Amino acid sequence: MDFSAYTRFHALAQDRRSCRNYLPQPVDRSLLLAILDAARLSPSAVNRQPVRYIVLDAEADPEVRDIILKVYNRPWIATAPVYIVAVGMHDQAWHRPCDGKDHADIDVAIAVEHICLAASALGLGSCWVCNFEAPELHRLLQLGSDEEPVAIIPIGYPADADAPRRGRKSLDEIVQWGRKA
């Protein structure tokens, strides 16, 4: 069995980390398009693809940082040159028939991780940001009533190449083989 593709993927997953300090350097649009294309390829429930991406370029629009800081007031986020806002579209999402479970958040989460892995593969840093004032961002971006900003992903070149890694639980702590007796 050839594990070479898995080895490359594992290295990428292991190297990806949350970046909270970016260089003041613009990100080329071709890199952003590659990242967004990786998100486009992410799976979604019943292939509904209930997500869209709003790309906010702080280099092109100086008001972008004010918008981001208004909904997530942490100084580190202002160092990013670009922000991707992942928006869930609840009216387009698949809803599980037995209980109506809306899968928009799950589909957005898969896409956001594709964004983060693609950014890492391209030498860029990223970070999931979910602890923000969603109603205010909804208003500022003039989103529709069935749209929800689920995550803000700052993108840029990491200023700290050797950012500390956070510990991960062992497989024994998170895996159960078979059902409980």
User: Three-state SS for 148?
Assistant: strand
What local confidence, expressed as pLDDT, does residue 166 receive?
A: 74
**Is 150 in a helix, a strand, or coil?**
strand
Per-residue pLDDT tens listing for the chain (181 residues): 889 999 999 999 988 999 999 999 999 999 999 999 999 999 999 999 999 999 999 999 989 999 999 999 999 999 999 999 999 999 999 999 999 999 999 999 999 999 999 999 999 999 999 999 999 999 999 999 999 999 999 999 999 876 667 788 999 999 999 998 7
78-98 confidence digits (pLDDT tens): 999 999 999 999 999 999 999
CA distance 61 to 78: 13
Sheet with 147-156, edge to edge strand ranges:
51-57, 82-89, 147-156, 125-126
Q: pTM (2 decimals)?
A: 0.94
**pLDDT at residue 181, as a whole number:** 74
- Chain segment 12-40, per-residue pLDDT in tens: 998 899 999 999 999 999 999 999 999 99
Dihedral angle sign, alpha carbons of residues 72, 77, 81, 87: negative
